[in-house]
């Protein structure tokens, strides 16, 4: 079992686009949205995975992720999704010794852009990039499973 330690911020401008080292298109859906155990299926760059995440404790939560065949992932998204299917473009930005992931949402969520940083420890000190605005870590309105 792995721990996910993640902080999230609203994005204030598009400077992340020119700073990005790579991008990828992501399609994901939730099969279970219970905060005690969310279950997500995701397809990105021809790779599909099933992820189970435990309840948040601040910026920390349990996480299990397993690669699955892409046709199975597509079938799960089509037949088992709970709520909307999320599509987004992820920009990866190296800044201050960390990789920031900036998600630009599409479709009904167009206009929402969130930056995330995964940390090795909840007490890790880091520098905010210029595009990071208000912190929304722990705000359930910005959990992908709530969107």
Catalytic residues: 30
Beta strand pairing call for 113-118 and 2-11: antiparallel
Q: Residues 51, 40: contact at Cβ < 8 Å?
A: yes
Cβ–Cβ < 8 Å for 139, 145: no
- End-to-end, the C-alpha distance of the chain in Å comes to 26
Kindly give the residue spans of alpha helices, DSSP state H, lying in the chain.
15-19, 70-80
């Amino acid at each position: 079992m792995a721990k996910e330690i993640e902080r999230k911020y609203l994005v204030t401008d598009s400077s992340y686009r020119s700073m990005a080292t790579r991008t990828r298109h992501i399609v994901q859906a939730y099969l279970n949205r219970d905060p005690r155990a969310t279950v997500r299926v995701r397809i990105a760059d021809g790779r599909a995975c099933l992820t189970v995440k435990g309840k948040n404790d601040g910026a920390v939560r349990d996480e299990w992720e397993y690669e699955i065949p892409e046709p199975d992932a597509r079938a799960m998204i089509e037949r088992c999704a709970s709520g909307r299917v999320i599509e987004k473009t992820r920009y990866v930005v190296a800044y201050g010794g960390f990789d920031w992931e900036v998600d630009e949402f599409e479709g009904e969520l167009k206009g929402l852009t969130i930056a995330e940083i995964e940390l090795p420890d909840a007490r890790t000190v880091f520098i905010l990039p210029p595009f990071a605005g208000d912190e929304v870590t722990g705000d359930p309105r910005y959990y992908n499973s709530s969107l």
